[in-house]
Amino acid sequence: MTSAGDLGDFRTSYLGEVEELLAAANAQLLAIDASLRKGESNVRAVRELFRALHTIKGLSAMVGVEPVVAITHRMESALRATDRANGRLPLPAIDVLLRGVRMVEQHVSAYADDGAPPVTPPGLLDALDALEPGAAPTAVTNEVALDLEPAVAKALAAFELDELARGVREGRRAVRVDFAPSSERAAAGLTITTVREQVGGLGEIVKVVPLSVPATATAPGGIAFALLLLTAASDEALARAAGVGVEAVRPLAAARAPAPEAPAVVDLLEPDPHEQDVHRRGAMRVDVGRLDEAMESLAALIVSRARLGRELAALTARGVDVRDLALALQDDSRRIRDLRSSILRIRMVPVAEALERLRLVVRGLRRASGKLVRLDLDAGQVECDKAVADRVFPAVVHLVRNAVDHAIEAPAERRQRGKPEEASVRVACVARSNTQLELTVSDDGRGVDRERVARRASRPVPEGDAALLHLLCLAGLSTRAEASTTSGRGMGMDIVRRIVVEELGGELLLRTERGAGTTFTLRVPLTLAVVEAFAFECAEQRFLVPLATVDEIVEVDPGRVAYGPSPRSAGARGLVGVMERRGSAIPVVDLDAALGFGARRSPALRALVVRRDGDVIAFAVDRMLGQHEVVVRPLTDPLLKVTGVAGAADLGDGRPTLVLDLVALRVRLGLGPAGSRGVR
């Protein structure tokens, strides 16, 4: 079928758009909730919410996700009633509406995964119906005759017919616009998505009905869409918007003079003049897959640029005059860097937007736990790569959940301890550098009980926060602890650590004080994929290590590295020596030996200093080879999954160069801080 591509595209944009609208709906509901708690009404939020739901309904009807249509329609009706009551929604209604949004989310994600659609609990639909005071659902009789052919009429639900009739009674025209997608039209930028947007700008689209068109002698068969809408626009304007001839626009019923008793209802869809266009102008939605494609092309470009660099070096070595070529390549490099930052900028999402969803989480926790908690979000203007945001968000949710469930005391207990009854959970985010993001999740709760954690893990009581964190992150420990207390769900600290440290190559820190509170710090890269790395040589092999993981590069004076007794190394020198760095003794490890390449022939003169959790270790290497911008790809084959190797990159010679994870390597060697042995 010729239209498959068009529908597929639409599905993607449907999912993207609905996701955004659902986020907006949640945000507006929370805003209404907050206003109600202050005893105020929030007409504006009610309207925004209505608009989001209305659009979701229209889009869902078009792709045929009928349960969503049913839910959103009821929510809309409830809001219409609310608007008439000056934006006053009874507080319990918020919960029902939130449940409605959640149900819509479930339906949409089932649609996205091609999974079985969930069953909407009938209780939810009843509860939504009950929100509309005195409304017998779809009670208005359909006294307006609509000129609909059976194939179209069949596709309309009763309430959609009612809606068309209502519009006509209120003085608008009900019109049908037919649009048949074709490759020529698509090439001219006309797809059902764009047509829907254009036509939607001229009226209220009630339903888009897909119709199959049988093949005729003159045209191949395919799919067409009938857009049914209420509008005041002329046929010509509609035809122009749809890119079709005026004969494709047909009236369903003429407009009537508004009935005198028709209430002077403000049209909830009437755009607020203050904010119209703010969202639309200059912004567009992009499928992440397309950005990934651009990123991959860029990666290939960086690799071939590195190859050119090598060729240039070879020419120089042969004594060829390459000055002009070198200048051109320099220019080229700069452009690649610019292109890279442009693409990365496109992938950036505001962190504040992602964190907004936490309000919903905390609201739920507040209700479930009966604790008084205030959530403070402070992310400023910080942005990060979408891929990073998507990965780190579940970790943040877990930490917030933990804070409310475990760290924060009940109001009575807090009063006793002289703390304000309302506890505070604060999630903040700052850009630590151009490459790193620092998220903190802090609470003013009771702090982590070291003795209890130690007992549970059957380990000695940890000294210091770093050791305590290691203990908390032991696989299985935190989940067990949780199951015995309230939530019993979610993931353990080991998963938080895995996300932050292993998946994102970041850092997880803990600071906790008995009775005063706990702060978790998550340091993660702003972007994935392209990283700055140091290249160095070790055992005649070239390696890379991400710049962000190296504290500093120091010179090693071989004569001043001391090796202590090492009874287990069978005559050989021990693996770990001690050297001086800024007045303190730090362990130094020969990277050759640590990687299993055997003893080195010449003494190492440089060392990479790595710090994690306040622990410092130096890895001695043969020599440093400079700094590169590399595209790190993970090594996914089981034969290549080795602790200490984060992935590989092509430096332009076509060969993989291993990217080391020195922190993980330290753990593999059993050189982690106390208590961490065996933890990965």
Does 637 participate in binding another protein (rule CB under 8 A)? yes
- Beta carbon of residue 306, minimum distance to another protein (angstroms, whole number): 13
Rounded-to-integer distance, Cα 365 and Cα 190, Å? 46
Instruction: Please report which residue ranges of 347-423 form alpha helices under DSSP H.
Output: 351-356, 358-369, 386-402, 411-416
Span interacting with another protein, options 201-209, 518-526, 619-627, 631-639, rule CB under 8 A = 631-639
- Strands (DSSP E) along 83-183, which ranges? 173-179
Rounded-to-integer distance, Cα 440 and Cα 428, Å? 5
Pick out residues in 506-565 that bind another protein (CB under 8 A).
Answer: 541
Does 306 participate in binding another protein (rule CB under 8 A)? no
Answer whether 618's CB lies under 8 Å from 589's CB: yes
The structure tokens listed for 518 are 């706990």
Does 650 participate in binding another protein (rule CB under 8 A)? yes
Answer whether 53's CB lies under 8 Å from 46's CB: no
Does 657 participate in binding another protein (rule CB under 8 A)? yes
Pick out residues in 567-606 that bind another protein (CB under 8 A).
Answer: 595-597
Does 638 participate in binding another protein (rule CB under 8 A)? yes
Instruction: Please report which residue ranges of 515-573 form alpha helices under DSSP H.
Output: none
Does 342 participate in binding another protein (rule CB under 8 A)? no
- Beta carbon of residue 608, minimum distance to another protein (angstroms, whole number): 16
- Beta carbon of residue 302, minimum distance to another protein (angstroms, whole number): 13
- Beta carbon of residue 644, minimum distance to another protein (angstroms, whole number): 6
Does 294 participate in binding another protein (rule CB under 8 A)? no
Check the CA dihedral 264-268-271-273 and report its sign: positive
Does 640 participate in binding another protein (rule CB under 8 A)? yes
The structure tokens listed for 270 are 């009437």
Rounded-to-integer distance, Cα 399 and Cα 405, Å? 10
Displacement of CA 205 from its chain's centroid (Å): 31
Q: How many CB atoms lie within 10 A of CB 340?
A: 19
Q: Which of 645, 646, 662, 667 binds another protein (CB under 8 A)?
A: 645
Does 655 participate in binding another protein (rule CB under 8 A)? yes
Rounded-to-integer distance, Cα 637 and Cα 363, Å? 43
By C-beta, is 124 or 669 nearer to another protein?
669
Q: Which of 150, 263, 571, 654 binds another protein (CB under 8 A)?
A: 654
Check the CA dihedral 392-395-401-406 and report its sign: negative
Q: Which of 80, 606, 633, 680 binds another protein (CB under 8 A)?
A: 633
By C-beta, is 261 or 637 nearer to another protein?
637
End-to-end CA distance of the chain: 51
Q: Give me the residue label for tokens 């130094």.
A: 588
Span interacting with another protein, options 259-267, 368-376, 386-394, 654-662, rule CB under 8 A = 654-662
- Beta carbon of residue 579, minimum distance to another protein (angstroms, whole number): 23
Q: Which of 353, 644, 671, 680 binds another protein (CB under 8 A)?
A: 644
- Beta carbon of residue 473, minimum distance to another protein (angstroms, whole number): 22
* H or E stretch at 550: none
By C-beta, is 315 or 539 nearer to another protein?
539
Rounded-to-integer distance, Cα 131 and Cα 78, Å? 5
Q: Which of 192, 473, 610, 658 binds another protein (CB under 8 A)?
A: 658
Span interacting with another protein, options 209-217, 305-313, 395-403, 640-648, rule CB under 8 A = 640-648
Rounded-to-integer distance, Cα 98 and Cα 17, Å? 19
Span interacting with another protein, options 379-387, 430-438, 577-585, 656-664, rule CB under 8 A = 656-664
Angle (deg, nearest 10), helices 465-472 and 450-457? 40
Span interacting with another protein, options 114-122, 177-185, 622-630, 653-661, rule CB under 8 A = 653-661
Does 305 participate in binding another protein (rule CB under 8 A)? no
Does 330 participate in binding another protein (rule CB under 8 A)? no
Sheet holding 541-546, edge to edge: 623-631, 530-538, 541-546, 656-660, 645-650
By C-beta, is 148 or 632 nearer to another protein?
632
Span interacting with another protein, options 154-162, 230-238, 404-412, 652-660, rule CB under 8 A = 652-660
Rounded-to-integer distance, Cα 33 and Cα 273, Å? 24
Count of residues interacting with another protein (CB under 8 A): 24
Rounded-to-integer distance, Cα 389 and Cα 395, Å? 10
Answer whether 661's CB lies under 8 Å from 644's CB: yes
3-state secondary structure of 368: helix
User: Phi/psi at 535 (nearest 5 deg)?
Assistant: -100, 140
Span interacting with another protein, options 45-53, 369-377, 386-394, 633-641, rule CB under 8 A = 633-641
Pick out residues in 478-517 that bind another protein (CB under 8 A).
Answer: none
Span interacting with another protein, options 88-96, 338-346, 607-615, 635-643, rule CB under 8 A = 635-643
Q: Using CB under 8 A, list all residues that contact another protein.
A: 300, 541, 595-597, 633, 635, 637-645, 648, 650, 654-658, 668
